[in-house]
Amino acid sequence: MTLADGSVVNIAPLTELRVRFRGDRRSVELYKGHALFDVRPDPRRPFVVDAGTATARALGTSFDVDRTEDAVRVTVVKGRVVVARGDGKSGGDHPRAPARPLRILVTANEQVMVSDRAPPDPVRQVNGTAEAAWARGVLEFDDETVREVVRRFNLYNIAQIQLLDPRLAERRISGTFKATDPDSFVAFVRATATDLASDHPAILLEPHSG
């Protein structure tokens, strides 16, 4: 989606957001989901994404914001973003309890996770282009939990992956998959999870029946 100022937003499935442009500020409220922002610089009007738990203020940049139920992950592809703790109101019914102030400068190929229930994780180095590959229909994972990978796949597909083994859910994996091909991911997990019990399934892919 191209915005009125020429900035471009790639929006993942099941994402809800609202764009509000004023004379002195460009604001996006991300109620839920995942979006990639390619921001056109405008020194007179900052571009701010409010994801409830955290806000991200772009300094002429391309960055990715992923809002889950209990955390917000901000990844910078290029440029710089100032991440601050939000008030929890965006998309929520009630504001959360006040938390300690937070202000983190995140630069290209860096990522930070902000939760309303714990201190933020340290900023970590990532491949920003790979993290944003979902906008091209590709899911790339580097040392992610199987639980997180399943969550991402289920956003893109009618057929849903189910995790039946908690040990498998916390296992960390790396790989590159087509977003609309969950079968290849499930096959990969079954082939590599050789230490799991063979008498019951650890992971299932449930086809859509309707």
Do 95 and 144 fall into the same domain? no
Residue 170: CB atoms within 10 Å: 11
Percent of the chain at pLDDT exceeding 70:
90
pLDDT of 99 above 60: no
Q: Kindly state the average pLDDT of the residues 89-99.
A: 46
Strands 138-145 and 80-85, how do they pair?
Answer: unpaired
Do 70 and 165 fall into the same domain? no
Question: Domain residues for 78?
Answer: 8-126
Q: Which helix (H) or strand (E) holds 149?
A: helix 146-156
pLDDT for the residue numbered 93: 41
Do 116 and 175 fall into the same domain? no
2 - beta bridge partners? Answer: 8
Do 120 and 147 fall into the same domain? no
Per residue in 3-29, pLDDT (tens digit) is 999 999 999 988 999 999 998 999 999
Strands 103-107 and 80-85, how do they pair?
Answer: antiparallel
Determine, yes or no, domain membership for 132: no
Per residue in 139-163, pLDDT (tens digit) is 999 899 999 999 999 989 989 999 9
